[in-house]
Structures are given as structure tokens and as C-alpha cells.
């Protein structure tokens, strides 16, 4: 089975694939020889499928597959797979790193030292932060990653509340509106769907208490980005952002703000996790080649 990929994915598992072509840039001609497509953060749409008439499977490198037109793939008889599960720990770690970086002013402190501004043995204003211990963390989406974040939060003596699509009787459950109003830190862990696009809009951001922090390691389009930028420019809210609405483009207004910490979509960016993702992706491709059930069909 010939696989078309835009890159070599990390780790030894990739070498188990025998027939791989690498493309540079967008697909611009028909490839009737290609039966499998390995993609990461790349759109797969109707036009792509027309250029690959014998495609059998699209293997997505990552848990989120919002750039893939799954319905179009189904119409063409093309299966779609992803790499869930193995991304949870790394993304939860980064989420917590952003929480600590924002609340304890770690990035500002690093810049302060590097600039030579540390002139005495005691640093106070403007580097004074807010304690994480004892604060309330509101988790929007208690799936694998949200649950991993909750586990880490309890180790820091945080109070955890959550919301998800199916209400339950757990005392920690809140409606989204109540969670936003109650939490000191709100962390987003829902997939990007028609229902979640723009979920955190201006009206919902306004529910957050003054000085609260929004952390997003999910997808940028879940938040109304202009509304968030306005809140951050005003200084009313803080944010730790790993994702943006139009990556790699970041709103220019954020660059000089002291109340924002930004990273370039690093949620799964550890060697161990990236190699594990390759293992899962390759397992899906090998199953398709051998006619076995796909381990992670979406």
C-alpha cells in the first residue's frame, strides 16, 4: 500500500512502512497510486479526495481532526483515523505549565533577569503573582486530557470543578455559565465541532471574574479570539494560550501584553509523545494495508 506523507514522522515505528512517498507543498495533480494519506495539521477536503481516486485511509497524526472533512471522506469510502490516548499526559503537562507560568509570572521573571533588571536580592512588583494552591480550576471538557489536568491540579491543592456535555450529579459539576463565574482559572479541553466553535464568546468571557485566567490547549476557534483579545488588552483577564484561531498568525495586540503567556501549539511536543503518536498512526496504516479493523477509526 503506497502512503503519501508530507514529512517523516518521528520514531522507529515509521520505518515499518515499506512504500512511502513524500510530497512538498499542496497536492496539485492526480495520484492514482496512493492508497493512504498521512497528515498532520493539514486540510483534507473534497478536492484532495478527487485527486486521490484510490485512497483508502487518511491517518491523522494527532487526536484532533477538525481539518479533515470526515463526511466527504465517508462519501468517497475513505476511512479516517487519529491518535487518541497517547497525547493526554503531554498536553496536560503543558496546560499546567501555562497555569503556573501565568499565575506566578514565570516568563516575565525570566525576561527580567535576562534584561539585567534584577538590581537587588528581592524581587517584588511588578513580578508579584498569584498562588495556585487553594485556587479554583474550572475544566471545560472532562475527557482524557481534562481528567489528566484535574489529577495534576489536585496535587497542587487546587479545588477542581468541571463542565461537560452530559450533566451529572457530581458535586463538582457545574453548568458552563456557573463554572465561568466561579473559577479562578478556566482550562479548555473540548474538541472543535460545530457546537464548540466560538463556545467561549464575549458574553461568556464577561462572566469570568476580574483577574481570572483562561488557558487554552485545545483549539483556538473554540474561543471568540477578538473578544478575548479585547479582555486581555483591558487587563481584566489573564491567559495562557497554546492555540490560536488562524495559526500560525497571532493577534499583534498580544505580543506586548504582560498578562498573556503564549506557546506555538506545543501540546503534544515531547519526544516520547510524538513517537507514541507515530506508533499509533503506523498501526492504523498497517491495519488498513492488511484488511484488519482500524484501531482508531473516527
Taking only the tens place, the pLDDT of each residue in 142-164 is: 999 999 999 999 999 999 999 99
Same domain, 34 and 131: no
- Confidence (pLDDT) at 122: 75
- Nearest partner of 118 among 104, 103, 108, judged by Cα: 108
Place of cell 466527504: 72
List the domain range (segments joined by +) for residue 218: 88-262
Determine, yes or no, domain membership for 230. yes
Average pLDDT (73-90) is 96
Same domain, 92 and 230: yes
- Across the chain, mean pLDDT equals 96
Determine, yes or no, domain membership for 182. yes
When pLDDT is cut at 50, 70 and 90, the band that residue 202 belongs to is: very high
- Nearest partner of 282 among 38, 35, 41, 99, judged by Cα: 38
**Do 102 and 215 touch, CB atoms closer than 8 A?**
yes
Residue 274: phi and psi, rounded to 5, are: -65, -40
Determine, yes or no, domain membership for 180. yes
Q: Other C-beta atoms within 10 Å of 96: how many?
A: 23
Strands (E), 156-248: 159-163, 185-188, 213-216, 238-241
Same domain, 198 and 278: no
Pairing of strands 185-188, 213-216: parallel
Residue 159: phi and psi, rounded to 5, are: -90, 125
Average pLDDT (105-126) is 86
| pLDDT above 90 for 129 | yes
Determine, yes or no, domain membership for 171. yes
| pLDDT above 80 for 121 | no
Which residues have a catalytic role annotated? 219, 247, 265
Domain count of the fold of the chain: 2
Same domain, 249 and 138: yes
Same domain, 47 and 173: no
Q: Domain of 53: which CATH number?
A: 3.40.50.720
Determine, yes or no, domain membership for 159. yes
CA distances to 11, 29, 90, 103, 107 from 99, rounded to whole Å, are: 30, 46, 14, 6, 12
Distance between alpha carbon 286 and the CA centroid of its chain, in Å?
27
Ramachandran category for residue 264: left, alpha or beta (phi over 0 → left; psi -120 to 50 → alpha): beta
Give ∠ CA 274-280-286 in degrees, rounded to 5. Answer: 135
Side-chain-side CA neighbours of residue 154 (13 Å): 8
Same domain, 71 and 125: no
| pLDDT above 80 for 208 | yes
Determine, yes or no, domain membership for 295. no
Average pLDDT (75-86) is 96
**Do 183 and 137 touch, CB atoms closer than 8 A?**
yes
Same domain, 286 and 203: no
pLDDT tens-digit series, residues 24-54: 888 989 999 999 999 999 999 999 999 999 9
Same domain, 73 and 98: no
Determine, yes or no, domain membership for 240. yes
Range from 4-13, 17-26, 45-54, 278-287 carrying the lowest mean pLDDT: 17-26
What SS3 class is residue 81?
Answer: strand
Amino acid at each position: 500500500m503506497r502512503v503519501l506523507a508530507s514529512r517523516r514522522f518521528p520514531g522507529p515505528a515509521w520505518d515499518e512502512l515499506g512504500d512511502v512517498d513524500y510530497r512538498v507543498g499542496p497536492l496539485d495533480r492526480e495520484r492514482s497510486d496512493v492508497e493512504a494519506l498521512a497528515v498532520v495539521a493539514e486540510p483534507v477536503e473534497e478536492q484532495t479526495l478527487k485527486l486521490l481516486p484510490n485512497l483508502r485511509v487518511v491517518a491523522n497524526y494527532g487526536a484532533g481532526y477538525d481539518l479533515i472533512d470526515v463526511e466527504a471522506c465517508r462519501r468517497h469510502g475513505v476511512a479516517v483515523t487519529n491518535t487518541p490516548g497517547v497525547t493526554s499526559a503531554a498536553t496536560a503537562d503543558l496546560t499546567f505549565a501555562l497555569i503556573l507560568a501565568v499565575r506566578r509570572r514565570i516568563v516575565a521573571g525570566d525576561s527580567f533577569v535576562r534584561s539585567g533588571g534584577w538590581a537587588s536580592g528581592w524581587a517584588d512588583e511588578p513580578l508579584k503573582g498569584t498562588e495556585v494552591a487553594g485556587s479554583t480550576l474550572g475544566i471545560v471538557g472532562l475527557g482524557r486530557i481534562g481528567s489528566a489536568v484535574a489529577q495534576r491540579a489536585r496535587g497542587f491543592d487546587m479545588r477542581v470543578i468541571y463542565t461537560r456535555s452530559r450533566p451529572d450529579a457530581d458535586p463538582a459539576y457545574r453548568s458552563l455559565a456557573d463554572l465561568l463565574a466561579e473559577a479562578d482559572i478556566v482550562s479548555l479541553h473540548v474538541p472543535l465541532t460545530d457546537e464548540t466553535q466560538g463556545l467561549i464568546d464575549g458574553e461568556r468571557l464577561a462572566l469570568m471574574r476580574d483577574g481570572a485566567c483562561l488557558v487554552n490547549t485545545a483549539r483556538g476557534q473554540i474561543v471568540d479570539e477578538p473578544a478575548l483579545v479585547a479582555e486581555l488588552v483591558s487587563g481584566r483577564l489573564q491567559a495562557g494560550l497554546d492555540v490560536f484561531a488562524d495559526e500560525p498568525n497571532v493577534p499583534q495586540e498580544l505580543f506586548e501584553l504582560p498578562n498573556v503567556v503564549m506557546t506555538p501549539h506545543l501540546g503534544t511536543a515531547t519526544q516520547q509523545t510524538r513517537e507514541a503518536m507515530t506508533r499509533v498512526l503506523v498501526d492504523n496504516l498497517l491495519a488498513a494495508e492488511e484488511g484488519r479493523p482500524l484501531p482508531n477509526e473516527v
